[in-house]
Chain A
Amino acid sequence: MIYQILSKLDEKYHFEQAQAHCDIPCGIYDPSSAQIAALTVVRMMDLMADLAKGESKNNVDFHNSMDRYITVKEEHAEKAKQEIRIIWGDYFKKDKHPNVDELVHKIMQLGSKVRQTADREAGLAFVAAINEFAEIFWKTKDVKTKKAKAPYAPALEMVYPDL
């Protein structure tokens, strides 16, 4: 009875919601979001470099655009690190994939470097390391992988599950 009343009130007034999250979605791990985030980092570096080549550097539009690119680069570098940490911490079993610990450490360091700098080589290394992580991840699931160029800029070679 009370539930029905609350439900009617909710339809009209929309009560605040509290989420009872499982892993999102529950038990599903996939490195693709980290790969896309890493690609975004390189894309932002390219856009920053292009913008810096332009002639008008001391106007508001320039600073506005540059600031936006840097912000997105920052966010996606951190997002990639976060996604890798989750898979490493929640999915990989200790000592079962000994190379992963070293690789994850490398990814964390590269993730920091691509935030600190606009070094495209570091960005490429970041993407490559996360691709390597993806390859190991899919191997643990007995899923074959393939390499193909991303169908969007910066069109880097990526590791995809061959489903």
Chain B
Amino acid sequence: MLRIIKVTGDSMSPDFQEGDFVLLATAPFFLKRLKVGDTIVFQHKLYGTLIKRIVSFDPETAEAYIEGTRPDSLDSRRLGTIRRENIRGKVIAHFSKT
């Protein structure tokens, strides 16, 4: 239902910095109500567990387009859209080291 996840990498900087912790809600209640702007943790077949922000949804498949904060962040142009079943949870709290 709730998990603590540690952030690595800088693509979500300055919003999320390397070493920050987030609280992840994994209950279906949260996953069914995802919206643009939500930060999610999801599973990617090549890159493993990633954290990104939802920028839009495919109107036909409801798959999420995601991006990081920084312009050179990996995003859906390279990662593809994110299917619902690969979304691990929604970030509901952020614990920054600064």
Contact = CB atoms under 8 A, between A and B. Distances in A.
| B partners with A | yes
Interface of A: 2-3, 6-7, 9-10, 15-24, 26-27, 86, 89-90
Given A3-B95, A90-B78, A23 B72 contact: yes
Interface size class of B (residues with CB under 8 A): 20 to 34
A139 B74 CA distance: 25
B16 A20 contact: yes
A22 B79 CA distance: 11
A2 B6 CA distance: 13
A18 B6 contact: yes
Contacts of B97: 3, 7
B47 A21 contact: yes
B9 A19 contact: yes
Contacts of A18: 5-8, 22, 41, 49-51
Contact of B74 (A9, A23, A89): A23
A20 B12 contact: yes
Contacts of B57: none
Contacts, number: 87
11 contacts: A15-B4, A18-B6, A18-B7, A18-B41, A18-B51, A19-B49, A20-B12, A22-B68, A22-B70, A23-B78, A26-B10
B21 A15 contact: yes
A17 B5 contact: yes
Interface string B38-81: 00010000011111100000000000000010101110011000
B39 to A, nearest CB: 10
B96 interface: yes
The 3 closest A-B pairs by CB, nearest first: A20-B9, A18-B51, A20-B12
Contacts of B51: 18-20
B3 interface: yes
A16 B42 CA distance: 12
B43 to A, nearest CB: 10
